Chains A and B, each alone.
Chain A
């Protein structure tokens, strides 16, 4: 696409993209670190994850303010309008991802006091890596305006759900086997749920990217498998 005649306008749009990408990077790092401290039972790391969430909130407010200003002052049309709105929505999703990661971090702090449950934490770790990968993919798709990649992320939503369902059953089995683990397993359940929510947000972001690029909603229903059987 050719550049905007008024160069500062084009720069503002690009800056918005960069800010969202930056926030995405932060969110990814949060998710990765959160999963890490569950796996390694790393309390200081968990502490950091919890306190770093504030940065994401600030960034989100900043992106919101910038998108708002862009809409007010530049009167964006067509693809530019969709871009501004997409940036707003994605930043909100990323902020929620950050909150999920913070939540995981909090629970990780609690879990460090409990007995290690290596098998379970390994499953969580696997799910976490998957979710992290999806988030990275979708954010790469955003930065590169890569529609194919975004649709790819969108259609692989079931994988996360499968992982979640598996962990759910595992945890149930554990809890039924040894009632002393119920406390820890309950926390791990919430962690898994949070990870599943993050995966959903990645799908959400993929839908937003699709709307920004094509101007249309993704028509077919999102593949969902989160009713555990």
Chain B
């Protein structure tokens, strides 16, 4: 007999027995669809694979031999105390560390099998495949429309005004901002509230059609309601994008991600499914950090 309760077909509003259907007691109708907490494992291929990544700022080493696999179409969270290297590692994925002259990155970070640090890879093209959202919302000081349209325009993704407008509309819709700004697309982006600005920035990142979205503490400048809306947005987006989020709020990592990685002093201490990490981590350092026994 199949003991897995999930395998028993759930009839809407009725409890299930295998004995006599007429004995079945009726329960009032409730939402019985099981939540999409985990996408089916078969579509969860590895999107980003990091091998032996070391990062130096001049003589100071910031990351030591980081090895991690990041699955696609899900949310992976990096947690850890300040200065542990999680943001540094995040910025390696889209080579934003190139802008820092003293930074040196060794090891390989492969997205779909090709190393981002290879000489043949143009950072500009890479960054159109790997979008980034920053801690403080930083829309361009242009109109809302221009903010979203800039990326597609410079990458030549639209062949005419109508196509560009369509891209802007769909990006704003995906970011959950369309209803609020549809009637004021030509007003400055900086006139929106913090939460709206962050969603605008997400729309801007989506507009260039990336496969990966990196988020560096996207909610730390926002109030709880705006944060909840962004988290709901992340929930919706993870069906399309591989999302990697750095957060100093463990609670947020617990709520939002399917896989969590704990960094400490430049090393990747432990990584695993979020449920396991927060209910039963293997490493004592992880447990100490999560339970607040650090320091």
B is bound to A: yes
Is the interface on chain B under 10, 10 to 19, 20 to 34, or 35 or more residues?
Answer: 35 or more
Chain A facing B: main interface SS: helix
B72 to chain A, nearest CB (A): 19
Complex CA distance for A18 and B198, rounded to whole angstroms: 36
When the two chains form their complex, are residues B5 and A62 in contact, meaning their CB atoms are under 8 A apart? yes
- Indicate if B154 sits at the interface (CB-CB under 8 A): no
Name A61's closest neighbour in chain B (CB-CB): B5
Q: How many cross-chain pairs have Cβ atoms below 8 Å apart between A and B?
A: 107
Is the interface on chain A under 10, 10 to 19, 20 to 34, or 35 or more residues?
Answer: 35 or more
- Indicate if B254 sits at the interface (CB-CB under 8 A): yes
Which A residues lie within 8 Å of B31 (CB)? 11, 14-15, 18
Complex CA distance for A7 and B32, rounded to whole angstroms: 14
- Indicate if B19 sits at the interface (CB-CB under 8 A): yes
- Indicate if A55 sits at the interface (CB-CB under 8 A): yes
Which B residues lie within 8 Å of A74 (CB)? 254-255
When the two chains form their complex, are residues B235 and A11 in contact, meaning their CB atoms are under 8 A apart? no
When the two chains form their complex, are residues B19 and A48 in contact, meaning their CB atoms are under 8 A apart? yes
When the two chains form their complex, are residues B34 and A32 in contact, meaning their CB atoms are under 8 A apart? no
B78 to chain A, nearest CB (A): 17
When the two chains form their complex, are residues A14 and B30 in contact, meaning their CB atoms are under 8 A apart? yes
Name A22's closest neighbour in chain B (CB-CB): B15
Which A residues lie within 8 Å of B23 (CB)? 29, 32-33
When the two chains form their complex, are residues B15 and A24 in contact, meaning their CB atoms are under 8 A apart? yes
Complex CA distance for A62 and B228, rounded to whole angstroms: 28
- Indicate if A12 sits at the interface (CB-CB under 8 A): yes
When the two chains form their complex, are residues B231 and A11 in contact, meaning their CB atoms are under 8 A apart? no
Interface residue stretch chosen among B99-107, B138-146, B211-219, B274-282? B274-282
When the two chains form their complex, are residues B15 and A6 in contact, meaning their CB atoms are under 8 A apart? no
Complex CA distance for A144 and B27, rounded to whole angstroms: 9
Add 5 more A-B contacts to A5-B232, A75-B254 (CB < 8 A). A6-B232, A14-B30, A28-B25, A33-B19, A72-B279
In the complex, the 5 A-B pairs of residues with the closest C-beta atoms, listed nearest first: A25-B15, A5-B228, A11-B35, A73-B254, A29-B17
5 A-B contacts (beta carbon < 8 Å): A17-B30, A21-B27, A29-B17, A73-B254, A75-B255
